[in-house]
Amino acid sequence: MFNIFKKLLGLEPEPEFSQMEVEKPVQKKDISEIRREFYYQIGNILEENLVYSSHSEDVVYTRLKKSLQRINEITDTSKESLVVDKRELKALGEKILGYKDERSLSMVTYDVCGLINKGKYEHPSALRDRVIRRILDWYGLFY
């Protein structure tokens, strides 16, 4: 009962409020910047597995197929940030599922192998850019 009188008379000290830290707002990247980063990720994956036109077709095919599987996995994990609306997200999800199929993946791999063989005498950076653009075109992510 005595505590209630203390509160009513204002004899009890007010609780102190600590200062709140206000977090800075996270700046959202625009879609072109996200796609540019994705472009460089694809290039790094292709370079990790050393997919070059100087190798034999069998070596290029197996390494390229591994690379395309990893690219498909990365695309699957970051698909929400790569597209703007739900319709594009649904289309991208269907394409990712399609490329998980062995037959579709083999078809895509043969397509890229043909592109690499045609550009055998091109500068490696130009050839790499063409391959990356082709991969992005399959997913509908035009760069």
Q: Mean pLDDT throughout 28-38? A: 83
Mean per-residue pLDDT for 18-44? Answer: 77
Which pTM value belongs to this model? Answer: 0.72
Residue ranges of the domains in the chain? 29-139
Comparing C-alpha atoms, which of 128, 75, 133, 137 is closest to residue 100? 75
| Number of C-beta neighbours around residue 102 at 10 A | 9
- What pLDDT digit, counting tens, does each position of 61-102 carry? 888 899 999 999 999 998 888 888 899 889 999 999 988 888
Q: What is the mean pLDDT of residues 22-27?
A: 61
Confidence of residue 142 (pLDDT cuts 50, 70, 90): confident
Q: How many residues does the chain have?
A: 143
Distance, CA of 57 to CA of 63 (rounded, Å): 10
